[in-house]
Structure 1
Amino acid sequence: MKYEYQDSKLGSIIGFTDNIQKNINHFSITQNTIKFLWNRNEKPVDFTVDNIPVELPPNHLMTITYLHKVSFEKSELPITGILFNREFYCIADHDSEVSCNGILFFGTQDIPIIAVKENQKRKFDLWHEVFTEEFGTPDNIQGDMLQMLLKRLIIMSTRLAKEQLIVKTLNNEQIDTIRKFNFLVDLHYRSKRKVSEYAELLFKSPKTLSNLFSIYNQKPPQQIILDRIALEAKRMMHFTDMQNQEIAYELGFNDPAHFSKFFKKMTHMTPSEYRENKVIAA
């Protein structure tokens, strides 16, 4: 089962399938899409994100952005997938916790995996049924209806994420600051390497950010910035033919030797050793 709605004038798409492994490359637009992956099976499903193994338990869903590289080669059971691009839902790039810049996509430092518990399962199953039916109603307001249903899914999932993934002692303003920081790092990690630069964008002090992430019981802000740079370097080594020198310049390093030193500090391997290890693993 595969459904798609596309507006060619806007370049927008929303797609839906109960077997994303089979249909992932069969949508009109596959690049730069944000995805919900939902395991509706009774057993876990295995796949990889950025070459890292992920196990999605039964009745759990997760979100991945256009920044991630996903492979379903190890998946034995079908995964329900909802994909959409910014042109469909994020035309104005609005900034709120249920936007494309929101908690589900940039609000946590790790890929969010959310449990659909028994008391919520009926609500999500009903959404699935209505969403499926709507793809069979091709009229002038179908796009608006699909957009509203997508927003409902994002709202339901955001509420669960706030309950399950975010420290209870944080208030809404603090949660929003964490979300905005993570989003800004994804935008500017090539050019901004200091916490103070992000603190200025957020109208906060660096100490306030450090204290906030300490309460959140996660990595310090500076580590998040460095990890993001290292992650992008690994992605380029895995998924492009770029040489180490090209990657260094692409990531904002003026000296390839400085990049090599940074990469070894972050991964305990030089870029060349990392590439060799990747080939052996493959």
Structure 2
Amino acid sequence: MSTTPADDTFRRYTAALERDFRTSHHVSDYAAALGYSPRTLTRATLAATGTTAKQYLDARVLLEAKRLLVHTDATAADISRALGFAEPTDFAKFFRKRERRTPLEFRAAARGQT
């Protein structure tokens, strides 16, 4: 099975994202580190997943946030810091925009406490 350049680009992006998603939430940072343009990362990610590079990155951050909310007793502020948000309010806005509820509302529902 042969791979296309887009496959290799996406694989490199995924590896970099897994390594650095806790410290960088900007596609441009990954693009610069990998020697690509943000548009190239987006094209490769669209081809592989049907989502943009930013949507893919945000989904990874959200997945980790959910994991930490469900499986730890860390506060939302602690999780915010662990995921590289400058302020807990930035994390709360990020989470609420994508999940339609606050991190603590998500935790309560996931733990059957609603």
Cα distance in 1 between the residues matched to 2:47 and 2:63: 24
Offset, 1:228:
1.0
SS of the aligned residue for 1:280 comes to: coil
- Which aligned segments of 4 or more residues in structure 1 are displaced greater than 6 angstroms? none
Which consecutive residues of structure 2, in runs of 5 or more, have no partner in the other structure? none
SS of the aligned residue for 1:241 comes to: coil
Per the alignment, residue 59 of structure 1 pairs with none
Asked if the contact 2:25–2:57 (Cα under 8 Å) also holds between the matched residues in 1, the reply is yes
**What pairs with 1:48-67 in structure 2 (closer than 5 Å)?**
none
- Indicate which of 226, 238, 242 corresponds to 2:74: 242
More strand by share: 1
- Tell me the percent identity: 32
More helix by share: 2
Offset, 1:216:
3.1
Per the alignment, residue 18 of structure 2 pairs with 186
Per the alignment, residue 223 of structure 1 pairs with 55
Per the alignment, residue 261 of structure 1 pairs with 93
Per the alignment, residue 110 of structure 2 pairs with 278
Offset, 1:195:
1.1
TM-score by structure 1 length?
A: 0.38
Cα distance in 1 between the residues matched to 2:52 and 2:82: 25
Which consecutive residues of structure 1, in runs of 5 or more, have no partner in the other structure? 1-158, 163-169
Cα distance in 1 between the residues matched to 2:17 and 2:49: 19
**Matched pairs, number:** 114
Cα distance in 2 between the residues matched to 1:204 and 1:237: 34
Cα distance in 2 between the residues matched to 1:235 and 1:229: 10
**What pairs with 1:117-136 in structure 2 (closer than 5 Å)?**
none
Offset, 1:269:
1.0
Cα distance in 1 between the residues matched to 2:17 and 2:55: 11
Q: Give the structure with higher Rg (CA).
A: 1
